Structure 1
Amino acid sequence: MEMDWADNQIINTLQENARTSLDQLAHITGLSSATVQRRVKALRDSDVILREIAVIDPSKVGQRMSFVIMVELERERPDQIDIFVRRAMKDRQVQQCYYVTGEADFCLICTAKDMEDFEKLTHRLFFEDSNVRRFRTSVVMGRKKVGLGVFLDDER
């Protein structure tokens, strides 16, 4: 999909607040509300906009701990990678899962209520999977910046 300055503005604004009204987007871009509506629909239909979600503060809903976990697999075959990814994607405590290069094969961002809850997560994802060679965990001391935004140039 060819995108222009107005599409970039729409994307940037919706990433900051997905509840921004069509009228507000029209004001920002200088386009009519109908044109903005067509553009937003086209961005969704072409999978530029994949989802619109609510961002929750984990500590306010009982998930007081966050972890960055580096996972190394025993065998890095496509079928084994798929099995691991499916397990990670099904687990509600896994917020993000990245297939990476380097010493580890995967980097996971996870939440837990407490250490006991985290231990249950490690058993589900790692100890019950014979293809997991090892995993290394870092406990998040503080959330300084959290986001998934991919902001685009706003130059005309």
Structure 2
Amino acid sequence: MNSLDDFDRKLLMEVQRDAQLPQNELGARVNLSTAAVNRRLRRLADEGVIQNYTAVVAPEKVGYLLTIIASVEVESEQIDLLDAMKRTFAQCPQIQQCYYVAGEWDFVLVLTVRNMDEYTALTRQLFFSNNNVKRFKTLVSMSRVKVGLSVPVDIDGK
């Protein structure tokens, strides 16, 4: 991958703010032609810098009123058992984010659920029925203060 220049970084900042901006508008904001914006965005996607374009849905507008953070400790860190857990967590639509972490816990999950009954059912499915789960801890979010996946792309790499 080539290193990112200031134009790439400016483009990435703008696309993270609003991926629906037309390329001519992006070009005006970063001082590039529409053709140059198109080439750069295609290169950034080809190189894996831009992984996906997506819509951010307000969970409460579609009936998902609770955000849950769950920490999970496993019995064994045997590779095949961890890989199986990763696959299970990745396939669960209520799990928005899953991190395999170092420290006291092995996984940290961010889930969105309709209510506590749904979360209780998920704990049975994901944790209690899995022999490799030693214990888990649940935190219930009282409010979503900041939610996002934007990555800082400082100009001049600073």
Relative to the length of structure 2, the TM-score reads 0.96
Q: Distance in 1 between matches of 2:138 and 2:127?
A: 12
- What RMSD, in angstroms, separates the aligned Cα atoms of the two structures? 1.1
Q: What are the Cα deviations for residues 37-89 of structure 1, in whole angstroms up to 9, with x where unaligned?
A: 00000011111000111111111110001100000000011111100000000
Q: 2:57 matched to 1:26?
A: no
The CA deviation at 1:154 is 2.4
The CA deviation at 1:146 is 0.2
SS in 1 for 2:155: coil
Unaligned ranges ≥5, structure 2: none
Q: Distance in 1 between matches of 2:8 and 2:22?
A: 15
Q: 1:126-141, aligned counterparts within 5 Å?
A: 126-141=127-142
Q: Distance in 2 between matches of 1:14 and 1:123?
A: 40
Match of 1:123 in 2: 124
The CA deviation at 1:155 is 4.5
Match of 1:86 in 2: 87
8 Å CA contact 1:63, 1:112 repeated in 2: yes
Q: Distance in 2 between matches of 1:49 and 1:86?
A: 23
Q: Distance in 2 between matches of 1:21 and 1:80?
A: 45
Match of 2:71 in 1: 70
8 Å CA contact 2:98, 2:107 repeated in 1: yes
Sequence identity (%)? 40
Q: Which runs of 4+ in 1 moved over 6 A?
A: none
Relative to the length of structure 1, the TM-score reads 0.97
8 Å CA contact 1:98, 1:107 repeated in 2: yes
8 Å CA contact 2:5, 2:156 repeated in 1: no
Q: What are the Cα deviations for residues 2-60 of structure 1, in whole angstroms up to 9, with x where unaligned?
A: 21000001111111111111011111111110011000000111110001111111111
Match of 1:110 in 2: 111
Q: How many residues are matched?
A: 156
The CA deviation at 1:136 is 0.1
Match of 1:101 in 2: 102
Unaligned ranges ≥5, structure 1: none
Counterpart amino acid of residue 106 in structure 1:
F
8 Å CA contact 1:11, 1:151 repeated in 2: no
8 Å CA contact 1:71, 1:132 repeated in 2: yes
